[in-house]
């Protein structure tokens, strides 16, 4: 086992900074649950809310899917603004 063997493993973690890589082994759903809770309060009439941390458990980026009647007459840009608020 030469020391070089460990290096490719580190790079293999989706190229994330090390603090993110360490957090992957902690609770990945903590941030997802928090964001989901906030969205449930903001959109009480939503029929579906799905929050996925797509930054590897870092909390830097989330994919958010919301099904709600509130979005029906809104353009995509307006929908995004509502969610970002």
pLDDT of 24: 52
Task: Domain count for the chain, please give it.
Answer: 1
Question: For residue 17, is it within any domain?
Answer: no
Q: Compute φ and ψ for 47, nearest 5 degrees.
A: -90, -20
Chunked into runs of 10 residues, the chain (85 residues) has average pLDDT values of 49 52 55 91 93 83 91 90 89
Question: For residue 40, is it within any domain?
Answer: yes
Range of the domain at 35: 30-84
pTM: 0.63
Question: For residue 24, is it within any domain?
Answer: no
Question: For residue 75, is it within any domain?
Answer: yes
State how far the Cα of 82 lies from the Cα of 9, in Å rounded to an integer. Answer: 40
Question: For residue 25, is it within any domain?
Answer: no
3 CB burial (10 A radius; 0-12, 13-18, 19+): exposed
What are the tokens at 55?
Answer: 């930054």
Question: For residue 6, is it within any domain?
Answer: no
Which CATH number covers residue 67?
A: 3.30.300.90
Question: For residue 44, is it within any domain?
Answer: yes
């Amino acid at each position: 086992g030469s020391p070089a063997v460990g290096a490719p493993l580190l790079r293999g973690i989706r190229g994330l900074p090390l603090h993110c890589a360490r957090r992957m082994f902690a609770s990945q759903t903590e941030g997802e649950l928090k964001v989901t809770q906030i969205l449930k309060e903001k959109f009480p009439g939503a029929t579906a809310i799905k929050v996925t941390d797509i930054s590897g458990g870092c909390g830097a980026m989330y994919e958010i899917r919301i099904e709600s009647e509130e979005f029906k007459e809104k353009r995509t840009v307006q929908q995004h603004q509502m969610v970002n608020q």
